[in-house]
Each structure stands twice: as structure tokens, then as C-alpha cells.
């Protein structure tokens, strides 16, 4: 029996944001592998195995899933958001590159999902309407000095920035350090959007000026969008403001 492996993006969290393709692949799987809270989002189905693991066990998780697929199972590895954005698709590809020949012969699919920056941008308007980039503030897999260089380059080039993994219990200081750096490079009025748990219970979207941005407003469930010098805030009486970046530079 020939197995297969799919890496599936679950989107921000609400079932309405799960793509039909992802739902179908999840329903057909023999086994589900993933970080515990993500596995918990998948509806329980009779006869389907669920193998949850720690957030830092990505390589071991990918290897176990690949072995199960070689053994003939239809395997799904789940990620929050999109699996190709700071998530499990890269880990699976890395293990295939480094692993046995049998892993390279597998049918492997990556099923996209709505990533956090897109869900947050949609909630507040169109802050990603012009050129933008995504930067993870986690220094678990790259040095902080590299992150600083990338933040500086993005700010100086005029990119809107979506900041992933802004803080954690083990990394409480990085977001504050990033704001300090960006305050030296961008106008103090630059809009900053904090989006916590977008698409899930307890959702919160807050827009502030860069000069007032406080790292304490973020946690592990937060995505942060830092605008460019071109990004605007449209105030609306009785309604949440609209944040957008004009498509035409200098408009």
C-alpha cells in the first residue's frame, strides 16, 4: 500500500476560515500529527489516529509522520495559519532532504491556509496594500543580530512588516527591542496593529502609533503589523478605524 503525506494549514482558528480543500484532506486522513493545540482543532473522527507533540518537536514530528506515510498511511501534519509560513511545511521538506530515499518517493502535498498576517490585515482594512514582508522575532533558529538587520533593512526600504512570534515566556524582550529599533527609523505616527487570537475566541485588534506601541500588549497568540511611512489610519465615528497602505507610492 502506498501512503501519502499532506501538510495542512488550519487557518487562524475559526472553522469558517478553513478551506474546503483542507477539510477534505483532514477527513480522508488515517492519522493526524501536530502541535497539541492544533491537533485539538481537528474534528475527531472514528478510526483516525491523533498524535500530538510539543511545539519544539518539529523535526521529530516530521520524521514520525514521514515514516508512517512510508508504511502506507494517509498522513496529515497540521499547522496553524498557513503551513508554509514559519511552520511545518519547511520542517517536512528539510527532513525529506536529509532523510532516506523512501521519503523522497512519497506523494507530498502542501495545503495552504489563511496565515495570521492576512487574517489580521482583513480585520483592520488593508495595511498590506503595498509592498510588505513577514519577519519572525524568534531567535530560536537564527541570531538576534540577523533579526535586527532585517528589521532595519525592511524599515529603510519602506516595507510594511508583519511580525510573527513577537514574544513568548522564554523570549519576553524581543518585541520591545524591535520597537526601540524601529522608533529610530520610522515616523512616530506610524500605525502599529496588534492582533490577538484573530479568528478565535478572545479576538482583539488594537491600533496605536509607533511612539505608543508597548510590547506588553502582545503575547504568543499575537501577530503585529507595523506600517510604513505611507500607511494611513482612517478614523470613523462610532466604528473601528481603517488602516491601509496606498497602492500608489507617494499618493
**DSSP string computed for 129-160:** SSSEEEEE---SSS-HHHHHHHHHHHHHHT-E
Q: What Å distances lie between residue 147 and 82, 87, 216, CA to CA?
A: 22, 18, 20
Q: How far is residue 141's CA from residue 160's CA, in Å, rounded to a whole number?
A: 23
Query: Whose CA is closest to 230, among 208, 245, 218, 240?
Result: 245
Q: How far is residue 4's CA from residue 19's CA, in Å, rounded to a whole number?
A: 20
Q: What is the pLDDT of residue 200?
A: 87
Q: What is the pLDDT of residue 251?
A: 57
In DSSP terms, which residues pair with 126 in a beta bridge?
244
Burial group, residue 30, by CB count within 10 angstroms (0-12, 13-18, 19+): middle
Give me the tens of pLDDT residue by residue for the chain, a chain 251 residues long: 679 999 999 999 888 999 999 999 999 999 999 999 999 999 999 999 999 998 888 999 999 999 999 999 999 999 999 999 999 999 999 999 999 999 999 999 999 999 999 999 999 999 999 999 999 999 988 999 999 999 999 999 999 999 999 998 888 899 999 999 999 999 999 999 999 999 888 899 999 999 999 999 999 899 999 999 999 999 999 999 999 999 998 75
Q: Identify the structural domains of the chain with CATH numbers, from first to last.
A: 4-111 (3.40.1010.10), 116-244 (3.30.950.10)
Query: Whose CA is closest to 87, among 4, 164, 143, 199?
Result: 164
Q: For 179, which DSSP code?
A: H
Q: How far is residue 92's CA from residue 123's CA, in Å, rounded to a whole number?
A: 31
Q: For 11, which DSSP code?
A: B
Q: Decide if 199 contacts 12 (C-beta within 8 A).
A: yes
Q: How far is residue 194's CA from residue 220's CA, in Å, rounded to a whole number?
A: 12
Q: How far is residue 9's CA from residue 110's CA, in Å, rounded to a whole number?
A: 8
Q: What is the pLDDT of residue 54?
A: 87
- Identify the sign of the CA torsion 162, 16, 38, 78: negative
Amino acid at each position: 500500500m502506498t501512503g501519502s503525506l499532506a501538510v495542512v494549514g488550519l487557518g487562524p482558528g475559526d472553522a469558517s476560515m478553513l478551506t474546503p480543500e483542507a477539510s477534505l484532506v483532514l477527513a480522508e486522513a488515517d492519522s493526524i500529527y501536530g502541535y497539541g493545540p492544533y491537533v485539538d482543532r481537528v474534528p475527531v473522527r472514528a478510526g483516525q489516529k491523533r498524535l500530538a507533540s510539543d511545539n519544539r518537536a518539529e523535526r521529530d514530528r516530521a520524521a514520525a509522520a514521514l515514516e508512517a506515510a512510508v508504511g502506507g498511511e494517509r498522513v496529515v501534519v497540521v499547522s496553524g495559519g498557513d503551513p508554509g509560513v514559519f511552520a511545518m511545511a519547511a520542517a517536512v521538506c528539510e527532513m525529506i532532504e536529509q532523510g532516506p530515499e523512501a521519503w523522497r518517493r512519497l506523494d507530498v502535498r502542501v495545503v495552504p491556509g489563511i496565515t495570521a498576517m492576512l487574517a489580521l490585515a482583513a480585520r483592520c482594512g488593508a495595511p498590506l496594500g503595498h509592498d510588505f514582508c513577514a519577519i519572525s522575532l524568534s531567535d530560536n533558529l537564527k541570531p538576534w543580530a540577523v533579526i535586527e538587520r532585517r528589521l532595519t533593512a525592511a524599515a529603510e526600504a519602506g516595507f510594511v512588516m508583519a511580525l510573527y512570534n513577537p514574544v513568548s515566556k522564554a523570549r519576553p524582550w524581543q518585541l520591545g527591542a524591535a520597537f526601540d529599533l524601529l522608533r529610530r527609523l520610522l515616523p512616530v505616527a506610524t500605525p502599529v496593529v496588534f492582533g490577538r487570537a484573530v479568528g478565535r475566541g478572545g479576538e482583539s485588534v488594537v491600533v496605536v502609533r509607533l511612539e505608543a506601541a508597548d510590547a506588553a500588549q502582545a503575547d504568543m497568540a499575537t501577530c503585529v503589523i507595523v506600517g510604513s511611512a505611507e500607511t494611513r489610519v482612517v478614523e470613523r465615528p462610532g466604528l473601528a478605524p481603517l488602516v491601509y497602505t496606498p497602492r500608489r507610492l507617494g499618493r
